[in-house]
């Protein structure tokens, strides 16, 4: 079939008209009468007038654009939302997330914006449900309690978390910090000031990590130092470990690895080295600093963080398995790794703190002393002539996907590992 030229022009005109009609339809999505915007909604949603009296009202609400977020007829999402709540806010507020965030606030990344913001109107700026600090403290309770209780406060914390943190995501630093440390701290603290230099024994601090010694959320220790302070540091005997401030390499330590700490902690290190099995990182290039903070810490023993976090830096798999496990060993879950292990060295494999696994478990599980499946030196493991039955023959100490921390998915399967005659 061939097109006749006299048909082409009317055909194109028809296409143009149809196209124009659909464009018009797209503009007025719900074919509302002129002037009949969101005000129509108030006919039923009369409580809304109170919301509109708030000092901060969401722009689409202010402009009566209820259909910006809601579908007035039907929707696949709760509250007649026009899209998944995770996607609806970022239609307009996409810029709250930088293109390449270094850290993101999970609640924001998950799209749970209404956990912090009222989508219609609120008493607080940015439509926040509560004032900044109070709102944050609802989830970060432990930190908020600590901030309230400490003797020495950090002024920006009292003024609000958003002084240092971006509540949605940070393009520059971890922990939602607006900038990396020390750049963030140096916005307020001038390292050139005489008082600053005096407090820091004239060491050049402009490129050091302030939060290694100072608790930015406040402290019971003067100078916002973490609560546990290493004695030489507290007494400002920096030259016990560092070259002096006038040295060409002023912050350089005087010896490497564990050799630096040996000067004072000789007995502890010597004792560790007499054991058959070492925790090898103790002797590597970072030595004690793999786990301890040499200046100050909020953890016992100057640990560089909560124990599970410190151990988990290297034992990533152990922590990951623990998190995924259905049955977890409470001491492991609570991060008290040293309930069973010696951190520096031991004569036992896995750096256990007692010669026998049975004794380690027996510290808490005393039932085994009066009623138990045969265990110990006399109970040979039928699976392997060189093994005897211990708690670990059936249980995995950190936790497993099975109940009661069993190695096998079911108790039957676990038992018939050895008692093969009962297999079905």
Partner 1 sequence: MPVKLLLTLLLMLPLYAPSASFAEQAVLFQPVVSVYTDGEGHGLLQPEGVACTENTLVIADTGNNRLLQYTVKVDAVEFASQIKMPQLTNPIRVQINSQGEIFALDGKNRRIVRLNKDGQFAGNLDLKGVPPDTGATIVPRSFKIDQQDNIYVLDIFSGRVIVLNPRGDYLRQIAFPKKSGFFSDLTVDHGGSVYLIDSANSMVYSAAKEAAEFLPLSKNMQEYISFPTCITTDNRGVLYVTDQNGGSIILLGLDGSFRSRKAGMGWNEGLLNYPAAMCITGTNAFIADRNNNRVQVFR
Residues numbered 344 to 363 that lie near partner 1 (CB under 8 A) are: 349-350
The residue range among 15-23, 109-117, 203-211, 276-284 that interacts with partner 1, by the rule CB under 8 A, is 276-284
The residue range among 106-114, 140-148, 299-307, 314-322 that interacts with partner 1, by the rule CB under 8 A, is 314-322
Indicate which single residue of 22, 31, 94, 386 sits in contact with partner 1 (rule: CB under 8 A): 386
Per-residue burial over 211-242, b = 16 or more CB atoms within 10 Å of its CB, e = otherwise: bebbbbbbbebeebbbebbbebbeeeebeebb
> What CA–CA distance (Å, rounded) separates 359 from 414?
22
Indicate whether 324 belongs to the interface with partner 1 (CB under 8 A): no
Nearer Cβ to partner 1 (224/307) = 307
**# chain residues binding partner 1, by CB under 8 A:** 34
Give least dist CB 349 to partner 1, A: 5
Indicate which single residue of 133, 381, 401, 416 sits in contact with partner 1 (rule: CB under 8 A): 381
**Would you tell me how many other CB atoms lie within 10 Å of the CB of residue 106?**
9
Residues numbered 59 to 88 that lie near partner 1 (CB under 8 A) are: none
The residue range among 9-17, 115-123, 149-157, 317-325 that interacts with partner 1, by the rule CB under 8 A, is 317-325
Closest listed residue to residue 116, CA positions, set 153, 53, 161: 161
Nearer Cβ to partner 1 (89/402) = 402
The residue range among 117-125, 199-207, 209-217, 268-276 that interacts with partner 1, by the rule CB under 8 A, is 268-276
> What CA–CA distance (Å, rounded) separates 177 from 99?
16
User: Which pairing describes strands 296-297 and 399-400: parallel, antiparallel, or unpaired?
Assistant: unpaired
Q: Is 113 exposed, middle or buried (0-12, 13-18, 19+ CB in 10 A)?
A: buried
Distance of alpha carbon 195 from the chain centroid: 35
Tell me how far CA of residue 298 lies from CA of 228, 237, 319, 332, in angstroms. Answer: 6, 20, 22, 20
Indicate whether 318 belongs to the interface with partner 1 (CB under 8 A): yes
Give least dist CB 172 to partner 1, A: 20
Site string for partner 1, 206-245 (x = CB under 8 A): ----------------------------------------
Nearer Cβ to partner 1 (195/274) = 274
HEC sequence for 68-136: HCECCCCCCCHHHECCCHHHHHHHCCHHHCCCCCCEECHHHHCCCHHHCECCCEECEHHHECCCHHHHH
Indicate which single residue of 148, 255, 324, 364 sits in contact with partner 1 (rule: CB under 8 A): 255
> What CA–CA distance (Å, rounded) separates 284 from 261?
13
Indicate which single residue of 257, 294, 335, 399 sits in contact with partner 1 (rule: CB under 8 A): 257
- Per-residue DSSP letters for 32-75? PPTT-SGGGGGGT-TTHHHHHTSSEE-HHHHTT-GGGTB-SS--
Indicate whether 153 belongs to the interface with partner 1 (CB under 8 A): no
- Structure token pair of residue 245: 């401030």
Nearer Cβ to partner 1 (140/275) = 275
φ, ψ at 206 (rounded to 5°):
-60, -25
Indicate which single residue of 15, 75, 139, 316 sits in contact with partner 1 (rule: CB under 8 A): 316
Nearer Cβ to partner 1 (139/316) = 316
- Structure token pair of residue 105: 């606030």
Nearer Cβ to partner 1 (67/345) = 345
Give least dist CB 227 to partner 1, A: 29
Contact 85, 111 (CB under 8 A): yes
Indicate whether 249 belongs to the interface with partner 1 (CB under 8 A): no
* Residues belonging to the chain: 424
Contact 126, 57 (CB under 8 A): no
Indicate which single residue of 175, 313, 373, 419 sits in contact with partner 1 (rule: CB under 8 A): 313
Give least dist CB 394 to partner 1, A: 11
> What CA–CA distance (Å, rounded) separates 304 from 233?
16
Nearer Cβ to partner 1 (32/316) = 316
Indicate whether 328 belongs to the interface with partner 1 (CB under 8 A): no
Nearer Cβ to partner 1 (136/283) = 283
Binding site for partner 1 (CB under 8 A): 255-257, 259, 273-278, 280-281, 283-285, 313-318, 320-321, 349-350, 381, 383-387, 393, 407, 417
């Amino acid at each position: 079939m061939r097109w006749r030229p006299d048909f082409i022009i009317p055909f194109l005109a028809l296409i143009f008209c149809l196209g124009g009609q659909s464009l018009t339809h797209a503009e007025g999505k719900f074919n509302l009468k002129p002037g009949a915007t969101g005000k129509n909604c108030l006919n039923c949603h009369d409580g809304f007038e109170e919301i509109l009296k708030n000092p901060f009202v969401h722009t689409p609400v202010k402009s009566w654009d209820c259909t910006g977020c809601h579908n007035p007829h039907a929707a696949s999402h709760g509250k007649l939302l026009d899209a998944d709540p995770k996607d609806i806010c970022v239609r307009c507020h996409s810029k709250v997330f930088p293109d390449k965030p270094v850290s993101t606030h999970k609640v924001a990344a998950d799209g749970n914006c209404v956990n912090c913001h009222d989508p219609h109107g609120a008493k607080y700026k940015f439509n926040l449900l509560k004032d900044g600090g109070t709102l944050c403290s609802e989830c970060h309770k432990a930190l908020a309690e600590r901030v309230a209780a400490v003797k020495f406060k950090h002024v920006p914390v009292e003024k609000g978390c958003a002084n240092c943190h971006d509540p949605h995501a940070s393009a520059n630093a971890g922990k939602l910090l607006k900038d990396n440390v020390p750049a963030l701290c140096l916005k307020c603290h001038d390292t050139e000031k005489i008082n600053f230099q005096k407090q820091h024994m004239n060491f050049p601090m402009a490129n050091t990590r302030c939060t290694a010694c100072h608790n930015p959320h406040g402290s019971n220790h003067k100078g916002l130092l973490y609560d546990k302070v290493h004695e030489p540091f507290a007494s400002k005997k920096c030259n016990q470990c560092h070259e002096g401030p006038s040295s060409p390499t002023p912050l350089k330590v005087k010896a490497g690895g564990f050799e630096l700490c040996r000067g004072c902690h000789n007995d502890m290190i010597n004792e560790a080295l007499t054991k058959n099995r070492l925790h090898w990182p103790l002797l590597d290039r970072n030595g004690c600093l793999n786990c301890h903070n040499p200046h100050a810490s909020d953890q016992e023993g100057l640990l560089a963080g909560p124990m599970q976090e410190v151990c988990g830096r290297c034992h990533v798999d152990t922590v990951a398995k623990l998190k995924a496990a259905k049955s977890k060993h409470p001491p492991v879950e609570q991060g008290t790794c040293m309930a069973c292990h010696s951190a520096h060295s031991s004569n036992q494999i896995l750096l256990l703190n007692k010669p026998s696994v049975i004794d380690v478990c027996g510290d808490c599980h005393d039932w085994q002393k009066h009623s138990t499946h045969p265990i110990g030196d006399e109970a040979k493991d039928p699976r392997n002539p060189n093994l005897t039955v211990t708690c670990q023959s059936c249980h995995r100490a950190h936790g497993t996907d099975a109940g009661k921390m069993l190695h096998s998915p079911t108790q039957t399967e676990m038992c018939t590992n050895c008692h093969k005659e009962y297999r079905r």
